[in-house]
Amino acid sequence: MTRFMDKTFWGLTIGLVVILVANFLLEDWLRFIGLQSMARGAVALGLLILWRAGLVSFGHALFFGWGAYAVALSQKIGITDALLGIIIGTIASGLLAFALGFLLRRYRAIFFALLNLAFSMILYGVLAKLEVLGSTDGIGVKQPSYFGITPEGANAHITLFCFTAIIVYIVALAVHRYLSSTLGAMTIAVRENEIRLEYLGYSAEKAIHVKYVFSGLLAGFGGAVMALAVGHVDPDSMVYWPNSGDFVFITILSGTGNVAATFIGALAFELIRTFAFDYAPQIWQLLMGGTLLVIVMFLPNGLWSLTEHLGKRRKSAPSPAE
């Protein structure tokens, strides 16, 4: 139990309390950005798991979009409950990741990255052709109900925010636990020396498969939350390849030091994008690219490494999750 209640546990718990309180004080637009950060942060968390195993996916918009469409379609058959919708979106993506994992676990490096991209673009192509699913115009998602109650107006997002924050908290803790378990520790072993891992009696392919399913579940969860927050799903802003790029961007921005990093990175990403959009409407992409360049050059381990720099300066204990 003492191992369970480490720094990350306390950090996440304090973080949860802070954002739950902040939820009621925040301006509406900031709350929405917070919601999106949690959704994108969850996907980046999935990428973090793969990243630690030395794998980068350029196609996780596949699972993000799959989860989002699963929520939209489940509403069509009458499922309006938020929790049920999110579970459906998450599981649907997990199953897809499980199926694709049999093929993808055999590939590494650029082949892994691009095969993911290929699968995501297949889904994009199919969705763009399917007129019954609204083609590129997408389909609308209604405000969900929470155990039979449907909040109206601003309350809808306050509720969804609380709801998402609590699930994200549980998910982040679970991933943190997983990463510090034997199975999770294999992540680094896969990256460092696969052959040695195999000699230890573990299957590298199976370890990767498990990680891939986890990352799929997390991306599906992110997509489901995004669908409910935005109220609309469409292939261009959910499945198209730049979305996969956004997730990789967030992962680089955050660094892989800690599960909390991805959510902070996602928030920073959303805020940078929002202000870049406001102050440079014609060259906002340039500012985003510039930010990435600065991070890669000066903070190669992401924003999280700032905490480690500061930690070292104060001669405190080594970084939490490593």
List residues binding other proteins (CB under 8 A): 7-8, 10-12, 14-15, 18, 22, 26-30, 32-33, 36, 125, 128-129, 131, 134-138, 140, 153, 156, 226, 230-232, 234, 236-238, 240, 258, 260-261, 264, 267-268, 270-271, 274-275, 277-278, 281-282, 284-285, 303-304, 306-307, 310-311, 320
Nearest approach, Cβ of residue 178 and other proteins (Å): 18
SS3 at position 280:
coil
Q: Identify which of residues 15 and 46 has a Cβ nearer to other proteins in the complex.
A: 15
The rounded distance, in Å, linking the Cα atoms of 266 and 35 is 10
Nearest approach, Cβ of residue 131 and other proteins (Å): 5
Nearest approach, Cβ of residue 234 and other proteins (Å): 5
The rounded distance, in Å, linking the Cα atoms of 61 and 107 is 19
Nearest approach, Cβ of residue 116 and other proteins (Å): 20
- The kind and range of the H/E element at 7 are helix 7-25
Residue of 267, 249, 215 whose CA lies nearest to 97: 215
> What pairs with residue 149 in β-bridges?
146
Nearest approach, Cβ of residue 213 and other proteins (Å): 25
Nearest approach, Cβ of residue 136 and other proteins (Å): 4
Q: Identify which of residues 172 and 197 has a Cβ nearer to other proteins in the complex.
A: 172
Q: Identify which of residues 135 and 203 has a Cβ nearer to other proteins in the complex.
A: 135
Q: How far is CA 281 from the centre of its chain?
A: 27
Q: How far is CA 131 from the centre of its chain?
A: 29
Q: Is 44 within 8 Å of 262 (Cβ atoms)?
A: yes
Q: Identify which of residues 36 and 55 has a Cβ nearer to other proteins in the complex.
A: 36
Q: Identify which of residues 48 and 207 has a Cβ nearer to other proteins in the complex.
A: 48
Structure tokens at 305: 């490494």
Q: Identify which of residues 203 and 274 has a Cβ nearer to other proteins in the complex.
A: 274
Please give the radius of gyration of the chain, using alpha carbons only, rounded to the nearest integer: 19
Nearest approach, Cβ of residue 291 and other proteins (Å): 14
DSSP 255: -
Neighbours of 258 (CB within 10 A): 26
The rounded distance, in Å, linking the Cα atoms of 260 and 8 is 8
Q: Identify which of residues 48 and 238 has a Cβ nearer to other proteins in the complex.
A: 238
